[in-house]
Structure 1
Amino acid sequence: MSDNISWRTLAVILAAGQGTRMRSQLPKVMHPVGNRPLLGHVLAAVEAANIDQCAVVLGAGSGTVADYLKQAAPTARTFTQQEQLGTAHALLAARPALQAHEQGCVLVLFGDSPLISAQTLAQLRQALIDGAAVAVAGFHTTQPGPYGRLLVEEGRLLAIREARDASPKELEVNFCNGGVMGLRADTCLWLLDRIGNQNAQGEYYLTDAVAVANCAGLPVTAVEVDEDDVLGVNDREQLHAAEQLFQQRRRRSVMQSGVSLVAADTVFFSADTQLATDVRIEPCVVFGPGVSVGSGVRVDAFSRLENIRLEQPVSEGICHA
């Protein structure tokens, strides 16, 4: 791998969406999964991936999100997309950050994708280090339905074809666009400035960077990731699905770390729950925010815990729901 100075990474999180399908006064990226805002999960993945710099693009009037960022990611630069004219337009709202990041990698993430992992970010970054000018996260699925198809030939990503524009043969492709993208910093702005809005919506789409790069003879590749990693949340049903997947991942993780769950499907964690080895959790337990449990502690059935640290020899049965 090349030296870290040459391949410093900037993550730009697009968080300007209005989220009208959530039917809520709360900004979409502030809806919680595991008692942490969607945006907070993306920020955590950026931190876990040891990414050097982070910028967040907000929508006009996103005071709630801006306030959260001051607390959760005080070093992140924030930019405002005054008009919502597409994903490429949103990324260009962070032009000052892109101009200052002349070398290395730019990773474009979405503030409504709470299951994104540090591993996926590392895969995209490595694809750029290995020579790609554009790297797109893709996933295989048995139900490609409305997803854009990734058309790959001999290892090169030729196009992202939206389902409504795909031919019958292209619709048979089950390798789909995950949205998350990496761009080499030295060609990033050049590509973005050449994306047009000649489409039915009159918007500037980041996916068009693939066609622009291909026309310029720049290397373009697709990186296969887990479908869950790029799950976006646009409505309450998808929020529920993300919560279920988060809990499944967390249950598996804590059991692998040496925690016993008597009835795993009945235990619910917060994103910041801390459990030491040899903890035993009985059925129907809910961990609210701010809970830390020391080694050897047993958490009794039907407990609800919040903002507490439990250590041996704490008597069992405290903090019942």
Structure 2
Amino acid sequence: MSADRQTPPLAVVILAAGKGTRMKSDLHKVLHPIAGRPMLEHLIASAAELQPERQVVVVGSGRDQLERQLGSRADLAVQEPQLGTGHAVQQAEAALAGFSGDVLVLYGDVPFVSTATMRRMLDRLHADDAPEVVVLGFEPADPLQYGRVIAEADGRITRMVEHKDATAAERACRLCNSGLMAVRAGRLFELLGQVGNDNAQGEYYLVDVVNVANAQGGHCAVVVTPDPDEVAGINSRGELAEAESRWQERRRDRAMAEGATLIAPQTVWFAWDTVLGRDVTIEPNVWFGPGVTVADRVLIRGFSHIEGARLDEGVEIGPYARLRPGAVLQAGVKIGNFVEVKNATLGPGAKANHLTYLGDAEVGAGANIGAGTITCNYDGYFKHKTVIGERAFIGSNSALIAPVRIGADAIVAAGSAVSRDVADGELRLVRAEQMVKPGWADRFHDAMKRKKAEKGRN
């Protein structure tokens, strides 16, 4: 695309009307997540970088789910009955009424088409020879049942054909059709109106717009992606797992290239938006959910589970730590084994090393939370906050019954159940008085041993 040519407006049409029966799921196929993000959202995010003026999602069953997911971000067009991909794109015509720019046709179950590839398609559409349709092709290791793109060496397409309708010679061609296209809006719907359904499936194929254009003396072109994985469709749970695996492998490689150490890379699972600083070390079997930001020099020990959390510089967590949404660990915080943090901020240098739950809490700098401490934040109806001051010491096996405030430098003795505020520098000890009965245990053991012996004789 020449630098002096003004970029025309863009519309994106995403086909998502398939029933997804092979998923065997009540969840719409394109809403199944990869790296914690619905596959449809991966695609929309890539397209968004091109700043489309219009966005139309063609739906069939599961429309209510897509409406909830997308809100006002896209127009929905309904395809019912479903008579093929060409018929599906036709359903977007009303939503694009008056639109005169370019149209990218994408597929909701082909989520990893890159922005760069989309841009290449649009650039080719506006090349000097001005093709009427640009098709994205790929060359898989095994062409399987894919439709073929019969093209000349310069990329000019002579024929598009579905596998079922292809001759043996055409099936020998390794250049396959991804289904993705770039077309000018006015020409797209003009061509679709001339597509018939005289084929093995009795459907209106989108690819036939190329054949119609060629028959009218026009010409079309193919752009080939060098990465077949980019256009891999997802139609089953197995293919979903394969897509997840491919995504994770690339994300792990990127993490290590950017300065993180992954002790056992294949056991670390990232979310789509995980942010890692430099010199982060991640031990085996760590899982990241969405919304995690990790600063420099953080150590994440094995079997930790992290989502919706921020870890500042020099933090150490785990093993077996769980950070839930709203967890903020400021510089130098240490979270140990079997500690859970939810909607809580721990100030610089605070520690909770063992068997602790900190929920809806604010923990001051340098505070020490003893093993077995629990913030009792929920009364069955409402959540309440616990505030722990700087350098406070919370003894082991303490229950802090919110709402409650523990002052700076205060000490809560081990085994206390604290339901009232503790002042700065105060010691709070809340325990029942210990009862002592000398000799009672010996008498108890003797009596039980006699009973057991008598039972054995009977």
Q: TM-score, normalised on structure 1?
A: 0.92
Partner of 1:193: 193
Structure 1 segment 72-151 matched on structure 2, within 5 A:
74-103=72-101, 105-130=102-127, 131-151=130-150
Distance of aligned partners of 1:258 and 1:37 in 2 relative to their CA distance in 1, 3 Å threshold: same
Q: What is the Cα deviation at residue 129 of structure 1? A: 1.5
| Displacement after TM superposition at 1:21 (Å) | 1.0
Deviation at 1:3, TM superposition (A): 5.7
Q: Please tell me whether the aligned partners of residues 115 and 246 of structure 1 are also in contact (alpha carbons under 8 angstroms).
A: no
The code of the aligned residue for 2:121 comes to L
Partner of 1:11: 12
Structure 2 unmatched ranges of 5 or more = 323-458
Cα distance in 2 for residues equivalent to 1:37 and 1:162 = 29
Partners of 1:120 and 1:229 within 8 A in 2: no
Deviates more, 1:152-161 or 1:28-37: 152-161
State the match for 1:285 in structure 2.
286
Do the aligned residues in 1 keep the contact of 2:121 with 2:182 (CA within 8 Å)?
Answer: yes
Change (3 A) 1:244 1:99: same
Equivalent residue number for residue 257 of structure 1: 258
Does the CA-based 8 Å contact 1:7-1:129 persist in structure 2?
Answer: no
Match of 2:370 in 1: none
CA contact (8 A) 1:88 1:204 kept: yes
Deviations 1:189-209 (CA, angstroms, capped at 9, x unpaired): 111111112223332110111
Instruction: Give the 3-state SS of the residue equivalent to 1:204 in structure 2.
Output: coil
SS at match of 1:228: helix
Q: Which amino acid aligns with 2:23?
A: M
Give the partner amino acid of 1:153.
Answer: E
Q: Distance in 1 between matches of 2:64 and 2:27?
A: 11
**Superposed displacement of residue 312, structure 1:** 1.8
In structure 2, relative to structure 1, the CA distance for the partners of 1:112 and 1:283 (3 Å cut) is same
Question: 1:209, 1:269 → 2: CA distance?
Answer: 41
Q: Does the Cα contact within 8 Å between 1:286 and 1:304 map onto a contact in 2?
A: yes
Change (3 A) 1:209 1:89: same
- Within a 5 Å distance, the mapping from 1:177-256 to structure 2 comes to 177-225=177-225, 226-256=227-257
Distance 1:184 1:81, change over 3 A: same
Specify whether residues 312 and 62 from structure 1 end up closer, same or farther in structure 2 by C-alpha distance, changes over 3 A only: same
* Cα RMSD for the two superposed structures: 1.9
Q: What code does the residue aligned with 2:94 have?
A: P
**Corresponding residue number in structure 1 for 2:308:** 307
Q: State how many pairs are aligned.
A: 317
**Structure 2 equivalent of residue 161 of structure 1:** 161
- Alignment partners' CA distance in 2, 1:154 and 1:117: 24
Distance apart, 1:319 and its partner CA: 6.3
Q: Distance in 2 between matches of 1:81 and 1:284?
A: 44
Kindly provide the CA deviation profile for residues 225-274 of structure 1, in whole angstroms up to 9, marking residues without a partner as x: 12111111111111111111111121222223332222211111111212
Q: Which has the higher contact order (CA 8 A, sep 6+)?
A: 1
Secondary structure of the 2:94 match is: helix
- Any conservation in 2 of the 1:148–1:162 contact (CA below 8 Å)? yes
TM-score normalised over the length of structure 2 = 0.66
Aligned 8 A contact 2:303 2:320 in 1: no
* SS in structure 2 of the partner of residue 158 of structure 1: strand
Structure 1 segments, 4+ long, off by >6 Å, are none
1:84-131 superposed Cα distances (whole Å, 9 cap, x missing partner): 11111111111123333213x210001111222111111111111112
Equivalent residue of 1:137, what SS? strand
| SS class of match (2:150) | strand
- State the 1:187 CA deviation: 1.2
Q: For residues 6-56 of structure 1, give each alpha carbon's deviation from its aligned partner in whole angstroms, at most 9, with x where no partner exists.
A: 522111111111101111111111111111111111111111344343211
Q: Summarize the Cα distance change of 1:95–1:186 in structure 2 as closer, same or farther, 3 Å threshold.
A: closer
Amino acid at match of 1:168: A
**Higher Rg:** 2
Query: Partners in 2 of 1:3 and 1:188 — Cα distance?
Result: 25
| Alignment correspondent of 1:270 | 271
